[in-house]
């Protein structure tokens, strides 16, 4: 991570895309740097960026860059821009991508983007692949170089999804609800029929070791456990259980106002399965198969995420976060009987109750959605994220969203 000049670092954290790319508001203003014609009207358009190429290794990009092609941003800038633009899981690669969908639509740049090979395309590509970064990963009991943390192609976890994981956030050097995440990892493994070869205490110490080794104060922690390679049939009773823990920077820069605009959820055709169809209470890799399908479809249709119903037709959750509705100043949330009872969910319920807001846990239907005045989702990654739209229904995030976002922010920072 380069050392930033303090004021530039501050500007970048507050207004990442403006600091890097200037004050572009829409596609109209993306002009080819030489002809000054709209970028979609010339072949191989280029644009200049505003000045900052700061730091020894650069925050970049600077100078002249090709529109619609992959640009390398420093991870710090990448995270800042991603969060500012409300793209949570991916990062950027081109000037066009950060200006998102309407730009493609308005200026015909969608066609141009479609011509970029998929492997290099827009917000779908991670700027720096996760297997090619500097740092250290805890792997089966010891810290090893990030790039050496590999598994063999003949690994049971890869073929049959015999893998469980956690997603945790570290705020100011402290992992939020570390113990609960540790317990859930063990429980998930047990539900999947295996024991972890390390104690909760060892795994908790290992997480902090990883954070320290990588110099991370505000970040995301990803423990994962999987069945190894001794047996490659469906049965794998003798396989070694492997455990790894990685962590990466993930500061929270998103302003409250930006979050209050709310995200847009598509309605997924995929349903959360019944408890006798899948191990629904484990954070097990296989359950994310339908989440990725649902989220990809939602993103292709211009939404941020998807709302999934359950096998009975009740409202369930988003692809990686729990759901809350505000009806008549009370909070209603689906009973988590066929999906994860999120750790953030439970924290937010406690915060709401502390505010004297009644929380009702029950089966929710489409009619309830029709009556909701505010909607939000919660999760380790999502934190408390207001929802502005579900399918063709619109919601206006309001007082309760704002209160819980503020209370949650205060809660995670409490030492
Ligand atoms: N549901 C799913 C499917 C998830 O992946 C997550 C994130 N772990 C959640 C809910 C929220 O859980 P938590 O608040 O524990 O992160």
Residues 267 and 390 both lie in one domain:
yes
Q: Ligand 1 center to residue 7 CA distance, Å?
A: 36
130: in domain: no
61: in domain: yes
Return d(Cα 253, Cα 269) in angstroms, integer: 33
Residues in CB range of 220: below 8 A, 6 or more apart: 167, 168, 169, 170, 247, 248, 249, 250, 380, 381
Q: Ligand 1 center to residue 183 CA distance, Å?
A: 14
The pLDDT profile of the chain, 415 residues, written as one tens digit per residue, is: 334 455 655 666 666 666 666 655 544 455 666 676 766 667 666 665 544 444 443 455 555 566 555 455 555 566 666 666 554 433 333 443 333 333 333 333 333 333 333 333 333 334 578 898 899 999 999 999 999 999 999 999 999 999 999 999 999 999 999 999 999 999 999 999 999 999 999 999 999 999 999 999 999 999 999 999 999 999 999 999 999 999 998 765 567 777 888 999 999 999 999 999 999 999 999 999 999 999 999 989 989 899 999 999 999 999 999 999 999 999 999 999 999 999 999 999 999 999 999 999 999 999 999 999 999 999 999 999 999 999 999 999 999 999 999 999 999 988 5
Residues 225 and 274 both lie in one domain:
no
Q: Ligand 1 center to residue 181 CA distance, Å?
A: 11
How far does Cα 127 stand from its chain's mean position?
A: 15
Task: Report the alpha-carbon angle 379-382-387, nearest 5.
Answer: 105
Q: What is the pLDDT of residue 322?
A: 98
Residues 200 and 294 both lie in one domain:
no
342 ligand 1 Cβ < 6 A? yes
Atom of ligand 1 nearest to the CA of 291: 3
Which two tokens mark 314?
């009740």
User: Which of 78, 98, 124 is where one domain is finished?
Assistant: 124
Q: What is the pLDDT of residue 259?
A: 84
Residues 238 and 264 both lie in one domain:
no
Q: Which of 324, 344, 348 to mutate to test the pocket of ligand 1 (most atoms within 8 A of CB)?
A: 344
Question: Atom 10 (ligand 1): residue with closest C-alpha?
Answer: 321
1: in domain: no
344 ligand 1 Cβ < 6 A? yes
Residues 300 and 404 both lie in one domain:
yes
At residue 384, φ and ψ (nearest 5 deg) are -110, 110
Strands 393-394 and 305-310, how do they pair?
A: unpaired
Taking Cα atoms as reference points, which of 100, 47, 92 lies closest to residue 73? Answer: 92
Residues 233 and 267 both lie in one domain:
no
Residues 283 and 375 both lie in one domain:
yes
129: in domain: no
User: Which of 72, 91, 124 is where one domain is finished?
Assistant: 124
334 ligand 1 Cβ < 6 A? no
pTM equals: 0.74
Residues 44 and 166 both lie in one domain:
no
300: in domain: yes
Which two tokens mark 211?
């954070």
How many domains would you assign to the chain? Answer: 3
Residue 375 region, left (φ>0) first, then alpha (ψ -120 to 50), else beta?
A: beta
Q: What is the pLDDT of residue 51?
A: 45
131: in domain: no
169 ligand 1 Cβ < 6 A? no
Return d(Cα 115, Cα 43) in angstroms, integer: 12
Question: Atom 2 (ligand 1): residue with closest C-alpha?
Answer: 320
297 is catalytic: no
168 ligand 1 Cβ < 6 A? no
Residues 140 and 119 both lie in one domain:
no
User: Which of 104, 124, 144 is where one domain is finished?
Assistant: 124
Which two tokens mark 51?
């000045």
320: in domain: yes
Residues 113 and 153 both lie in one domain:
no
Return d(Cα 387, Cα 261) in angstroms, integer: 8
Q: Which of 342, 347, 378 to mutate to test the pocket of ligand 1 (most atoms within 8 A of CB)?
A: 342
Residues 277 and 307 both lie in one domain:
yes
C-beta separation of 81 from 69 below 8 A = no
| CATH code of the domain in which 299 resides | 3.20.10.10
- Measured from the Cβ of residue 179, the count of other Cβ atoms closer than 10 Å reads 12
Q: Ligand 1 center to residue 165 CA distance, Å?
A: 11
Residues 229 and 262 both lie in one domain:
no
C-beta separation of 165 from 185 below 8 A = yes
Q: Ligand 1 center to residue 126 CA distance, Å?
A: 22
Taking Cα atoms as reference points, which of 217, 311, 215, 254 lies closest to residue 85? Answer: 254
Q: Ligand 1 center to residue 380 CA distance, Å?
A: 6
277 vs 127, 139, 271, 280, CA distance in Å? Answer: 37, 32, 12, 8
Question: Atom 5 (ligand 1): residue with closest C-alpha?
Answer: 320
181: in domain: yes
| Residue of 283, 295, 297, 330 marked catalytic | 283
Range of the domain at 66: 6-124
| CATH code of the domain in which 230 resides | 3.30.470.10
């Amino acid at each position: 991570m380069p050392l930033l000049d303090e004021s530039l670092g501050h500007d970048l954290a507050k207004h990442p895309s403006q600091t890097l790319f200037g004050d572009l508001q829409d596609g109209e203003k993306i002009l080819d740097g030489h002809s000054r014609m709209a970028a979609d009207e010339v072949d191989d358009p280029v644009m200049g960026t505003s000045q900052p190429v700061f730091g020894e290794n650069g925050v970049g990009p600077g100078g002249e860059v090709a529109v619609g092609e992959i640009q390398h941003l420093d991870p710090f800038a990448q995270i800042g821009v991603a969060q500012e633009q409300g793209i949570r899981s991916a990062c950027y690669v081109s000037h066009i991508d950060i200006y998102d969908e309407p730009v493609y639509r308005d200026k015909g740049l969608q066609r141009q983007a479609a011509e970029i090979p998929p492997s290099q395309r827009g917000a779908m590509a991670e700027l720096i692949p996760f297997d090619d970064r500097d740092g250290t990963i805890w792997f089966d009991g010891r810290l090893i170089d990030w790039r050496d943390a590999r598994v063999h192609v003949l690994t049971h976890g890869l073929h049959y999804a015999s893998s469980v994981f956690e997603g945790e956030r570290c705020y100011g050097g402290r992992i939020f609800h570390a113990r609960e995440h540790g317990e859930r990892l063990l429980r998930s493994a047990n539900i999947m029929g295996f024991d972890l070869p390390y104690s909760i205490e060892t795994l908790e110490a290992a997480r902090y070791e990883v954070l320290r080794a990588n110099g991370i104060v505000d970040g995301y922690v990803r423990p994962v456990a999987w069945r190894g390679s001794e047996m490659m049939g469906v049965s794998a009773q003798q396989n070694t259980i492997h455990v790894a823990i990685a962590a990466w920077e993930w500061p929270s820069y998103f302003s409250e106002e930006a979050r209050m605009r709310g995200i847009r959820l598509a309605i997924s055709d995929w349903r959360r399965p019944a408890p006798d169809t899948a191990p629904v209470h484990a954070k097990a890799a296989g359950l994310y198969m339908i989440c990725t399908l649902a989220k990809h479809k939602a993103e292709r249709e211009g939404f941020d995420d998807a709302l999934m119903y359950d096998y009975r037709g009740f409202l369930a959750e988003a692809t990686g976060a729990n759901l809350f509705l505000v009806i008549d100043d009370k909070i209603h949330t689906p009973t988590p009987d066929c999906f994860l009872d999120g750790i953030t969910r439970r924290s937010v319920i406690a915060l709401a109750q502390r505010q004297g807001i009644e929380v009702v846990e029950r089966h929710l239907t489409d009619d309830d959605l029709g009556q909701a005045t505010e909607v939000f989702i919660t999760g380790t990654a999502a934190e408390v994220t207001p929802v502005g739209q579900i399918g063709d229904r619109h919601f206006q995030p309001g007082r309760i969203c704002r209160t819980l976002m503020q209370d949650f922010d205060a809660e995670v920072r409490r030492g």
